[in-house]
């Protein structure tokens, strides 16, 4: 079965640089979510999109922005990178509502970002 | 605010034995979903099992079952017949379904080590 695709899988950036992470949800999934997982920590919700509109917002820094495109893929743009942004960034997707399991979020493999 | 508590930082189990990973939650929402995810050392986040707050029966998925005790607000994961490949970090997570928020809130995780 098709899974969530994230690119790149690994990324190394310098402080103050920008980064763009991409996410391709499971086919026919209409909602994407972004999470940040710092070393040794649990994932923290950043932002989500449903049908290309922002649907929920968590602890996303103002330096970060995201959007969902007409083909449902999503991009997380990160500017003025800081050392503390080094983390594993997950994208997840879920399918349209109705019935048990609609709420399940399926995660991609993650993008490991290292800021030097 | 919703909260997930996993009190076991680490658990050890011998191969072929069963193990229970504890999870308690706190929410004022009457409708919510509880999830367990597995995170191997490679980093991906793998969905294991889902329990809805109105589900009358405990969820089961192969060797995974969820011991759901609503009055006690606990949702423990039971892994039967442990295998070496079960060694990983396990996260309990919750999503409130009536608030309009879509985020998953995770516990701090339990690291399971399966020994031969």
Q: Which residue has the tokens 């379904």?
A: B97
* A105 to A102, A115, B21, B72, B87: CA distances (angstroms): 8, 28, 21, 25, 22
The rounded mean pLDDT for chain B is 94
A39 in contact with B, Cβ within 8 Å: no
- Cα B9 to Cα B22: distance, rounded to the nearest angstrom: 10
Render pLDDT for A44-99 as a digit per residue (tens, 0 to 9).
999 999 989 998 899 899 999 999 999 999 999 999 999 999 999 999 999 876 55
Residue A73 near chain B (CB below 8 Å) = no
> Cα distance from B33 to chain A (closest Cα, Å)?
7
What is the CA B30 to chain-centroid distance, rounded? Answer: 19
Sign of the torsion angle spanned by Cα atoms B60, B92, A103, A23: negative
Rounded to a whole number of angstroms, the distance from the CA of A42 to the nearest CA of chain B is: 5
Q: Which of A32, A52, A33, A42 is nearest to B23 (CA)?
A: A42
Mean pLDDT for B95-99 is 79
- Contacts A104 to B, Cβ<8 Å: 33, 35, 47, 50
Average pLDDT over residues B65-81: 97
The candidate with the shortest Cα–Cα distance to A74, out of A86, A61, A90, is A90
Residue A100 to chain B, least CA–CA distance (Å): 8
Lookup result for tokens 């942004």: A85
């Amino acid at each position: 079965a098709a899974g969530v695709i994230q690119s790149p899988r690994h990324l190394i950036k310098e402080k103050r640089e920008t980064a763009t992470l991409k996410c391709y949800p499971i086919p026919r999934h209409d909602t994407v979510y972004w999470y940040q997982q710092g070393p040794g920590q649990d994932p923290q919700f950043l932002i989500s999109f449903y049908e290309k509109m922002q649907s929920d917002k968590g602890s996303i820094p103002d330096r970060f922005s995201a959007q969902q495109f007409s083909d449902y893929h999503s991009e997380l743009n990160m500017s003025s990178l800081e050392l503390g942004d080094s983390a594993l960034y997950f994208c997840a997707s879920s399918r349209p509502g109705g019935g048990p399991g609609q709420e399940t979020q399926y995660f991609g493999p993650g993008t490991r970002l290292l800021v030097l | 605010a919703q909260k997930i508590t996993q009190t076991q930082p680490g658990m050890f189990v011998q191969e072929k034995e069963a193990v229970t990973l504890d999870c308690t939650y706190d929410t004022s929402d009457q409708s919510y979903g509880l999830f367990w995810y597995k995170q191997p050392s490679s980093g991906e986040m793998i969905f294991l099992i889902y329990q809805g707050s109105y589900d009358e029966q405990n969820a089961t998925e192969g060797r995974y079952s969820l011991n759901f005790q609503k009055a006690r607000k606990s949702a423990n994961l039971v892994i039967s017949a442990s295998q070496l490949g079960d060694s990983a970090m396990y996260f309990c997570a919750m999503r409130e379904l009536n608030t309009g928020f879509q985020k998953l809130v995770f516990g701090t995780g339990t690291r399971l080590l399966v020994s031969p």
